[in-house]
Amino acid sequence: MTEPTVSSESFSFKAETKQLLNILIHSLYKEREVFLRELLSNASDALNRMRFEMLTEQNVLDKEAELRIRITVDKEARLLIIQDSGIGMTRAEIIENLGTIAQSGARKFIEAAKEQKSDFAQVIGQFGVGFYSIFMVAESVRVSSRSFRPEAAAVSWYATGEDNFEVTAADMAERGTKIEIKLKEDAAEFADEYRLKNIIHKHSDYIGFPIYLGAEEKPVNKQTSLWRTARPEITEEQYADFYRQLTLDFEAPLLRTHNVSDAPVQLYTLLFVPGKGERGMFSVRKEDGLKLYSRNILIDEYNKDLLPEYLRFMQGVVDSEDLPLNVSRETVQASGLMPLLKRIVTGQVFKELENLAKTDPEKYQAFWTEFGGYLKQGIASNAAEADKIQPLLRFRTNLHPENWSALEEYVGRMAEGQKTIYYIVGDDPKSVLRSPHLDYFHKQGTEVLLLTDAMDSFMLMGLHQYKEFELQNVAQAELPEQPQTENEAEKIPETDFNALVERFKQTLSERISDVRASTRLSQSVARLVDPEGALNPEMQRVYKYLGKDFEVSKKILELNPSHPILKTMAGLAPASELQTLIIEQIYDSALLAEGLHPDPSSMVQRIQQLMAAALGTAKE
């Protein structure tokens, strides 16, 4: 490679680009081969864009040229050349695409590089800086390109990784982009064809365009799209490689579904459920959505109309023979075929999830832990699809707090004659088990769903019934009066209890709307309930999570007339200091149990006073 001999214009890299290049040039990487993956990926993108343009644009340079990638090497000169016949670049485009990096992408990569010592060559592409990985192996780089537009002139870009790059006219007759890399001495291995062939098989085997190496007339890559390959011909390793190339996620997916259908449309799908619910910081997929192809031609990189929003965690490819080849990215979403494709693809996903739940419950629990919130969102936002989602829901219950149960399993364990599915809403699984609202249900051995996830309250907006069984909040459920035990029969005499109720009312004053006896409590001393007509507990939580203002109705305090604490309190002198402390603590404890206490630490001093009083009584 020689320096440019024609007049050229010099540009300075931006500060972030300089920092990035410094990291790449002066850092050591375990797998510098990643640069080839990035360059071949860019070439594939350019070819995809060219193929798309050729569907509607007739005035194209080299219209008959084969869409391909060719790699040549000069081992003695340590020269590697990668050339594609893709869409090419104009002078303005080459300056924009190679001379600058989106500041956010460069900055994030730099921050990641400072925070950890891992092999960043594995993840460089995700920040939009993939081309610059070339400087891990290059002394200098020349990129020559000619746009598909016949009137555009060829242009050349030259850089050595220093502060500047040069742009000049190029002598290039054919359409596409040619990258000439002068390799560093310690990167001479990448001028060896055998080494390059192995890298292509590892990272780029399923690029949908032929990759020619040296003088070979046959492509070195498989080229056939994996999703169009018969399943018996695909190994697990090939599926795993494809998933890694698609997502840059090196954790195995939880689930894979590969389907081919002929009716009612010709459709190929290869979809994955990722191993984790949160998209990793190194994910190459920046948005939700599936890759949509028409006859192996990429139509939309992030299509959001092929699955409902609550299944947006799915990754993969959909390829339809029936989408018109001249469809545009703007009109594809309005195509009358899309609702049909969505129905088919969604059905495939549900079928696989249902099958996983039946055949591998442990793995399904792992799926539920990561993605259950998405399905709950589906219940809340898609009432028409609730029946389809309900069998996939899983819950912990008061009788089985360590295990996940399906609604069908809950119904199968219901007592004879039970017509209601009961649930309780709380802040966390452990504290909700101690809720006074569960007293009756613990005593009767009745199972209750424990809903402690923030999304549960939203889900309940759409989950009112499962089959013929209505769902009810235990805090509001109307229950038959429970038979009294011997201890419960020893209630505080009515006159004494009424006097105690008045003391509670006087002490708590405007903080409550009423105080009354409870027919539901057995172990707990008190509970708070909403007055008739108040917003139900789950809707109160929805408003709270959304940060919306709403008027919280004053609660009713229900007391257990058989509880030993109240029996002892009934014998204390009216309006005594100890009685006031106990009333305040009972109320605060009830607030705490409901997750409503504004300042739990405020109870500390009172609890110390109560302990001191208890110790004093013990001495006497």
Q: What is the DSSP string of 287-332?
A: SS-EEEEETTEEEEEEE-SSS-GGGTT-EEEEEESSS-TT--TTTG
Residue-level pLDDT at 329: 46
Segment 41-45 shows an average pLDDT of 87
Q: Which of 413, 500, 483, 482 is nearest to 448 (CA)?
A: 413
Q: Express as a percent the part of the chain with pLDDT over 70.
A: 85
Domain with CATH 1.20.120.790 in the chain: 488-528+553-619
**Picking from 366-370, 415-419, 420-424, which range would have the lowest pLDDT averaged per residue?**
415-419
The Cα 140–Cα 166 span in angstroms is 12
| Average pLDDT in the chain | 85
Residue 7, classified by CB atoms within 10 Å of its CB into exposed (0-12), middle (13-18) or buried (19+), is exposed
Of residues 222 and 440, which shows the higher confidence score?
Answer: 440
Is it the case that residue 118 has pLDDT exceeding 50? no
Q: Which of 144, 117, 141, 139 is nearest to 131 (CA)?
A: 141
Residue-level pLDDT at 101: 54
The reply to whether the predicted model has a pTM over 0.85 is no
Q: Sorting pLDDT into bands at 50, 70 and 90, what band is 171?
A: very high
Q: Express as a percent the part of the chain with pLDDT over 90.
A: 56
The Cα 203–Cα 193 span in angstroms is 15
Q: Sorting pLDDT into bands at 50, 70 and 90, what band is 111?
A: low
Is it the case that residue 59 has pLDDT exceeding 60? yes
Q: Sorting pLDDT into bands at 50, 70 and 90, what band is 207?
A: confident
Superfamily of domain 488-528+553-619: Heat shock protein 90, C-terminal domain (1.20.120.790)
CATH 3.30.470.20, domain 226-328+336-359, yes or no:
no
Pick the CATH number of 8-213 from 3.30.565.10, 3.90.1530.10, 1.10.10.10, 3.40.50.10190: 3.30.565.10
Of residues 270 and 242, which shows the higher confidence score?
Answer: 270
Q: Are 492 and 566 in contact (CB under 8 A)?
A: yes
Q: What is the pLDDT of residues 474-530, one digit of tens each?
A: 998 887 665 555 555 588 999 999 999 999 999 999 999 999 999 889 899 999 998
The Cα 430–Cα 435 span in angstroms is 10
The Cα 527–Cα 523 span in angstroms is 11
The Cα 229–Cα 240 span in angstroms is 15
Q: Output the six-digit token pair for 129.
A: 């800086």
**Picking from 248-257, 267-276, 401-410, 441-450, which range would have the lowest pLDDT averaged per residue?**
248-257
Q: How far is CA 503 from CA 557, 576, 582, 584, in A?
A: 13, 10, 11, 11
Domain with CATH 3.40.50.11260 in the chain: 361-473
Segment 237-255 shows an average pLDDT of 89
Find tokens 């340079």 and name the residue: 61
Q: Which of 231, 195, 191 is nearest to 80 (CA)?
A: 191
Find tokens 């001191």 and name the residue: 612
Segment 239-251 shows an average pLDDT of 86
Segment 119-125 shows an average pLDDT of 44
Q: What's at 589, amino acid-wise?
A: S
Residue-level pLDDT at 616: 81
Is it the case that residue 117 has pLDDT exceeding 80? no
Residue-level pLDDT at 194: 95
Is it the case that residue 5 has pLDDT exceeding 90? no
The Cα 318–Cα 161 span in angstroms is 40
Segment 409-419 shows an average pLDDT of 94
Domain with CATH 3.30.230.80 in the chain: 226-328+336-359
C-alpha of 411 from chain center: 31
Q: What is the pLDDT of residues 355-380, one digit of tens each?
A: 999 999 999 999 999 999 999 999 99
Give the domain 361-473 fold.
Answer: Rossmann fold (3.40.50)
- Secondary structure (DSSP) of 92-131: HHHHHHHH---HHHHHHHHHHHHH--S-GGGTGGGGT-GG
Alpha carbons within 13 angstroms on the beta-carbon side of residue 534 total 18
Residue-level pLDDT at 397: 96
Residue-level pLDDT at 203: 75
The Cα 297–Cα 50 span in angstroms is 10
Q: Output the six-digit token pair for 301.
A: 């990189």
Q: Are strands 448-451 and 469-473 parallel, antiparallel or unpaired?
A: unpaired
Q: Are 434 and 442 in contact (CB under 8 A)?
A: no
Residue-level pLDDT at 125: 40
Is it the case that residue 600 has pLDDT exceeding 50? yes
Q: What is the pLDDT of residues 317-357, one digit of tens each?
A: 999 888 764 444 455 555 578 889 999 999 999 999 999 99
The Cα 304–Cα 320 span in angstroms is 15
Q: How far is CA 162 from CA 20, 100, 140, 171, 203, in A?
A: 11, 14, 10, 25, 29
